[in-house]
Every structure is written in C-alpha cells, then in structure tokens.
Structure 1
Amino acid sequence: MRAVVQRVLSARVEVEGEVVGRIERGLVAFVGAAEGDTQADLDYTVGKVVGLRVFQDERGRMMRALAEVGGGLLVISQFTVFGDVRRGLRPSFDGAMEPVAAEALYDRFVAAARATGVTVQTGRFRADMRVHVENDGPVTILIDSRRTF
C-alpha cells in the first residue's frame, strides 16, 4: 500500500461540481493499494499516515502529529501512485490492485483512520475528482508498506 501525504492549510475534493470532502489544517493522503496487499500493509500505512510528526511545535520543529494539532485527514483513492515509468513514458499500472478489492481495502483504510479518533473526510472511489490542495510548506511524504528506502 502506498500513500503520498501532503501537509495542508486546507483541501477539498469535488465530484461533478459538488464538494464531497473538505478539511482545514491537516493532511491529504493519496492512497493506493497494490496487488497482494494485506491487513498488515493497511495497518502499517494507516499508522504512518496518522502518526506522521510533520506539524511544528513551539520551537518550529516538526514534532507534532495530526491528533496533537486537531487536524483533519482527507483520504483520496489514487491507483496512479503505482504508476511505473521505468520502461518508457506511458505509466504502467500493473502493480495496482484490481478495483473491487482495492475499494474494499480503501474502505477499511478509511475506517481504520477514523478509529484513531482523527477527523476523516474522503473523496469518492473511482470518481473523476477535482482535488484542491493548499500546501503548507510544502511538506510531501511518500509512505510505502513494502519498500525500504
């Protein structure tokens, strides 16, 4: 499972002109499931996203997590985080999980994030979404449950 996480001042997602999710200060997580992802991958990724210490403390250091600053989490399904361009310029998405299973895992991701007590908003799975993000920093972090960097 992968998540590209951005620290934001605000963010919203629209589907067909309707706002379906909105947060103020917090994190936007673009989340994708890989073929073969398990509950362990989900648990790892949720824990990292919710626990990221990317908010500044009183000394200006990134030491605080989402719950400590009362921030929101906007979760967007994004199979394209598995785009592979090692063999050319057109991305291959062969590593992404098939949509039915991916949606179930995405729903479990959202439920697990909500269970931590943070406020969670979402986009709409498989919809054509417009995501509006006001980056803070910018701070962007890649989380991959299977890869060590």
Structure 2
Amino acid sequence: MAIQFLDTRISIHSDNFGGAEPLSDLPLLIGDIGLQVGAAVPANTSSVRVALTGTAVIDFVTVVEPPAEPTVVSLTVERGGDGSAGTGVTILNQQFEISALGPLFPISVTAADFPPAADVLAGEIRYTLFIATDGFIDLVLSGPAVFNGTAAAGTT
C-alpha cells in the first residue's frame, strides 16, 4: 500500500530561556500531543508508524558544594495514558547523568513507535513526554521544552 501521511503535531511547554521550573523525582509533563491516525486506510491500520522528538533545557540551582554522585535526569515518552506519568505504555526512557562540575546542554530524545492496530482504529493516539530527576543536584527547567510527533502509514 502507498505511504500515507496522517498527522504532525507539536507541543510547546516553554519556548524561551530564563525559566526556573524546579525538577524533582515527581515526573513533570512537558509534552502532550494527540496524533490523528483515523484516516489510515483499512489496509494500513497495522502499518502505522510514529516518529517522536523531544528537547528540554535544564540548568543548575546554585551549587555550593558539588555532591560526589551525579544526578540522573530522565526523559520518558508514553503512549496512551491520562497525562499522568506511568498511566501509558512506555515507548522510551532515556537517562542522562548530570555532574555539578560539568557543562549543561539541551537534552533530547528521539523515539519511534508502531502502535497496535486497535489504537489506530480508535482514531487518535496520545503521546506524552515527562522529565524527572534523581539525585542531590537541584535542577530547573530553564529553557525551551518541546515535543513533536509525526504519523504515517503504509509499507511502500
């Protein structure tokens, strides 16, 4: 079956620098998109594929004495769910180690998904992006945080 473009969506949690939203071990929702896939022709419902990308910029809160252990920052992408972490199917969980003496940079993830035909037949698939930390370094979401997704179907 010919390739079908189905949908593309973006979610912008923050689009500028200078933010100071604290990060913790409680996952923070920073991306939420609903991809419309109901237009997939019946022969393509089992060959829908989704490409997802997300980026977040983090920064330190003042570090007086650097801890010996790095802090882990996790970006998690889920399919389905209600917008709360852990209620959907985990598509990707990427972890980044952050050291108090190291440079900070935008952290990004790229994920792909082949959703089940039952999800495609529902017409819309919800994808979410969460960020959380685990460690002794206090971090904030300080800059742009975006999440993008595209859905297509077909095999040739």
Q: State TM-score, norm by structure 2.
A: 0.28
Bigger Rg, structure 1 or 2: 2
Greater RCO structure (CA 8 Å; 6+ sep): 2
Q: State TM-score, norm by structure 1.
A: 0.29
Q: Write 1 or 2 for the structure with the bigger share of helix.
A: 1
Q: Write 1 or 2 for the structure with the bigger share of strand.
A: 2
